[in-house]
Chain A
Amino acid sequence: ETGVTQTPRHLVMGMTNKKSLKCEQHLGHNAMYWYKQSAKKPLELMFVYNFKEQTENNSVPSRFSPECPNSSHLFLHLHTLQPEDSALYLCASSQVQEEGYNSPLHFGNGTRLTVT
């Protein structure tokens, strides 16, 4: 079992649907992230949850709604998406220290989302 697990692996949804992406980390980390990966573009940080509180919202449209019920689970709720939201959505986790070096990000396998 990988350290960071994402489900589903693939998702096709219409613009009026509501769906959720799930991420679970088994590494004991205290921070979790959502990244968006589009073709030929750098990975874009969407949300950061540090110590279970959302600490970063990188100007993401409200049709994306994150939820972090505990330090091991992270969700991304989707509603009324647009075709340009089609992308690979990657979840990651890390151990954030109060001082010194944070651990590197550990990524899941991503959810390939297609909006029709």
Chain B
Amino acid sequence: AQTVTQSQPEMSVQEAETVTLSCTYDTSESDYYLFWYKQPPSRQMILVIRQEAYKQQNATENRFSVNFQKAAKSFSLKISDSQLGDAAMYFCAYRSATWGSGDKLTFGTGTRLAVRP
């Protein structure tokens, strides 16, 4: 079974600065997807960024980028130019690419990010 570990329960960043959230995972599969979701106080889980394991290039979405290290099974999220609206819980998630099991996400416990003005 796959597991996802987020070792930082809480993080804090100064507005306009850069912060990196850590995520490691354990799997025996070679093909899979990784995701970062954001959960603001509204409680809705919002997809921030995704990475396909077969792609070596790190995914980027505006101020959000990942550092995907497949051999190390590491998938960190970097937020550049942090904004007050970035304050939220961030969840790392794994999904197998195997048909039939590909619907299910395995989540980490989350990292609460605070942004200081």
A31 contact from B46, B91, B103, B108, Cβ within 8 A: B103
Taking a contact as CB atoms under 8 Å apart, the answer to whether B103 and A41 are in contact is no
B residues 18-53 touching A (CB-CB < 8 Å)? 33, 35, 37, 42-47, 50, 52
* Segment of A20-28, A62-70, A99-107 engaged in the interface with chain B: A99-107
The count of residues in chain B whose C-beta lies closer than 8 Å to any C-beta of chain A is: 25
The count of residues in chain A whose C-beta lies closer than 8 Å to any C-beta of chain B is: 29
**Contacts A42-B108, A42-B109, A104-B35 given: A48-B44 contact, CB under 8 Å?**
no
The smallest C-beta distance from B107 to any residue of chain A, in angstroms, reads: 4
Complex-state Cα separation, A108 to B108, whole angstroms: 19
B44 contact from A43, A101, A109, A112, Cβ within 8 A: A109
Give 6 pairs: A residue, B residue, CB < 8 Å, sorted on A: A2-B44, A40-B9, A40-B109, A42-B4, A50-B103, A109-B42
